[in-house]
Amino acid sequence: MAQSRSDFGIDEGPTSPTFTRRNRNHHPNLWSDELIQSLTSPYGVSSYLERRETLVKEIGDMLKRVGDGEGEFRPSPYDTAWVARIPAIDDSSAPHFPQTLGWILENQEGDGSWGSDDSYSEFSLADQLLNTLACILALVSWERGQHNVNK
């Protein structure tokens, strides 16, 4: 059976269709706030706490193996540049994280790019290009490091 436009709350008048807003009467909550707050979770039991500690240790060990051997990751110029573009909450004419602009200015490569030039594969060159464009965009958006941008 075909539905008419009026089934969807559309009334066609002489010039254009008119949409009517439909209201619903929602049922009241089945449970009171006190009942919901009184519910307990089994995750506070010591077996869950022990498992959590084990997982935290395992994840920490994995991160140590992934990073530079010391459990730290190398900073990403691309991500740092995007964070640098965040304006301050109270003043949009200043960056919220000014230290990121300092990092960008201090970590430019000798050839004017940003990023690691450890290997010259097509992937690292593309990554270096994206890093450089993001860093230039961050510096230009805050009108900082004109010398670095021109480099």
Backbone φ and ψ of 141, nearest 5°? -65, -25
pLDDT higher than 90, residue 80: yes
Q: Where are the domains of the chain?
A: 41-73, 77-150
With 0.85 as the threshold, say if the pTM is over it: no
- Quickly list DSSP for 15-66: SSEEE------PPPPSS-HHHHHH---GGGSHHHHHHHHHHHHHHHHHHHHH
How far is it, in rounded angstroms, from Cα 23 to Cα 62?
Answer: 53
Q: Residue 7: pLDDT above 60? A: no
pLDDT tens readout for residues 10-54:
555 555 555 556 666 767 778 888 888 777 777 777 888 888 899
Give the pLDDT band (50/70/90) at residue 4.
Answer: low
